[in-house]
Structure 1
């Protein structure tokens, strides 16, 4: 029997046809501290594995909406590209019902490594961009403002204030029509059957909490940074695959390359604020180190503008 001192079993009381067998905290997630659950379903006499994704203080600070995550996972359920959602859990013991978490299926397999090639990752990115369009979108200015409002004022140095005002006053480099974007497609969010797998046919993507409609070149820029990929090679592979699946003979690679490059400092800007918010929540020195490095890069970028 698992230790439930940090997990409230009553949270799942609203789930039909389920009995909680065990719960254990998952490690490795940055935005959340999720739980792996074993739930018994009396109607089919089977025990299945799930993940409890709470709406927590950290989720609120990072602007996560569990109902959006649930709606998108439900929308793309037939694609088999993501975990199947079981249920959005809503608390009704308050005057206004509140979302308290989301239960999704547990995906068996392993986290992708570099054995899952850069080209396969690009193809997976292109598949995401073909999914149905969510009805909410990422507004970078608004997301940065949200992070800023959740920062401790100790972080408001003259350098950070200058960076914030610079980017908030600049127009966004939007290049393409909105599509479905994951906005966190690192290999750490790709699940494959085995460590030697190098095909997108059986790959699945987890952690759709940041997913939204948005410029696909911004999503691609985030993927490049998250996986430390070669920009030109990735854009080339991505465009080739998009042209193939869209049956297009021309896909302007130079336009895509310029768009991805234009988005890179914006990705660093969001990451800087994200790490500072994360440090305020978890007090991990590594978050400050990452933030300091990004801040220096952005100061140099602004000085060269």
Structure 2
């Protein structure tokens, strides 16, 4: 608890004293802990920490998403939650490293096929990037990136109108091979939004061509007018890059890492 004071919230939450704690490696947004408890075994503590507000993360919304998807999608279970954070079950598994992306795309299509829970928050692209922008302190960076930000802060005019539960960080880093299945973790950015945005972000992270990725996706999810889906995904691309660039600037600021600034600058150079 000296290393992470938020761990003090766990004993009253589970009504028992944990036996130990280990910081989890990885996770660019989360600094989670693996906790050993007498009655629940290993669990994961996802705190509502200072950086949660900066990255616009709501643990209560995250819990709602997990509860909505867990009956149908392999993932962890919400065990306990309060205003201090979220306690979820531990998934035993290994990082997903299969070179074939089709199983991952099929799993994303399954998520998009779930009935949207109205209690999950609606994603608003402009509100999100404006929030990121408002938390950047470096005036020189703001001056450098302002034209890119102003050009793409408003979302594109979409040809499609559907909405779905979207993960918004569906890369291999958030997939685990567990008991012969693929489990999805880290739902903190999930919201109700256009699946064209989530699919475009996923294909971007996986390094897949949008047309090839959409063809794979169509094998597992009905797509009316795929030409409209493809056009919307292409229209989303510079907006996705803007959101990612601002996220990396914030990450560099929060975690004091120059590597994140490098990532942000690479995205800027690619677009501008």
TM-score w.r.t. structure 2 length? 0.92
Q: Is the 8 A contact 2:169 2:189 kept in 1?
A: yes
Corresponding residue for residue 191 of structure 1: 176
Task: Note the 1:112-123 alignment, pairs <5 A.
Answer: 112-115=96-99, 117-123=100-106
Paired with 1:48 and 1:65, the residues of 2 have a C-alpha distance of: 26
Deviations 1:148-182 (A, max 9, x none): 11101334443311111112356453623111100
Contact 2:214 2:230 in 1 (8 A): yes
4+ residue stretches of structure 1 with deviation over 6 A? none
12-21 vs 227-236, which moves further: 12-21
- Residue 104 of structure 1 and its aligned partner are, at CA, apart by 0.4
In the alignment, what sits opposite 1:213? 192
| Aligned CA distance change for structure 1 residues 278 and 134 (closer, same or farther; 3 Å) | farther
Shift of 1:132: 3.1
Whole-Å Cα distance in 2 between the matches of residues 240 and 104 of structure 1? 32
TM-score by length of 1: 0.83
* Cα distance in 1 for residues equivalent to 2:150 and 2:225: 33
1:151 aligned to 100, 116, 136, which one?
136
Question: For 1:63, which of 49, 56, 61 is the aligned residue?
Answer: 56
C-alpha distance after superposition, 1:70-103 (max 9, x if no partner)? 11212233224221011112xxxxxxxxx11100
Pair 266,174 (structure 1): closer, same or farther in 2 beyond 3 Å: farther
Q: What CA deviation, in whole Å up to 9, does each residue of 1:264-304 have, x standing for no partner?
A: 111101001000011110111110111101112222xxxxx
- 1:40 CA displacement: 1.0
What runs of 5+ residues in structure 2 fail to find an aligned partner? none
Matched-pair contact (CA < 8 Å) for 2:167–2:189:
yes
2:10 equivalent to 1:25: no
Select which of 128, 142, 147 maps to 1:162: 147
Q: Deviations over 1:204-234 (max 9, x none)?
A: 1000000000000000011011111122211
The runs of 5 or more residues in structure 1 that have no matched partner are: 42-46, 90-98, 244-249, 300-305
Contact 1:239 1:251 in 2 (8 A): no
Secondary structure, counterpart of 1:20 in structure 2: coil
- Name which of 5, 19, 35 aligns with 2:2: 5
Mean alpha-carbon deviation: is it higher for 272-281 or for 171-180?
171-180
- The answer to whether the 8 A contact 1:76-1:132 is kept is no
Please state if 1:108 is matched with 2:92.
Answer: yes
Query: RMSD of aligned C-alpha atoms?
Result: 1.9
Whole-angstrom CA distance in 2 between matches of 1:133 and 1:170 = 21
Query: Quick one: distance in 2 between partners of 1:239 and 1:258?
Result: 15
Q: What is the number of residues matched between the two proteins?
A: 269
Q: Is the 8 A contact 1:240 1:251 kept in 2?
A: no
**Aligned residues of 1:134 and 1:212 also touching (Cα < 8 A):** no
- From the superposition, tell whether residues 292 and 80 of structure 1 become closer, same or farther in structure 2 (CA, over 3 Å): closer
